Amino acid sequence: MAWVYILLADIFEIAWPFMLKRSIGLPKWTTVFSAVVFALPIFLLLGESVKCLPASTVYAGFAGIATVGTAIVGVAFFGESANPARLCSVMLVVVGLVGVKLFSE
Give residue-wise pLDDT tens across range 58-102.
999 999 999 999 999 999 998 899 999 999 999 999 999 999 888
Q: pTM for the full model?
A: 0.85
CB-based contact 16:32 (threshold 8 Å): no
Helix residue ranges per DSSP H, 1-102: 2-22, 28-49, 55-78, 84-102
- Cα separation, 55 vs 40, in Å, equals 18
Contacts of 21 (CB under 8 A, 6+ apart): 78
The string of pLDDT tens digits covering residues 43-53 is 999 999 999 99
Report which of residues 51 and 26 the model is more confident about.
Answer: 51
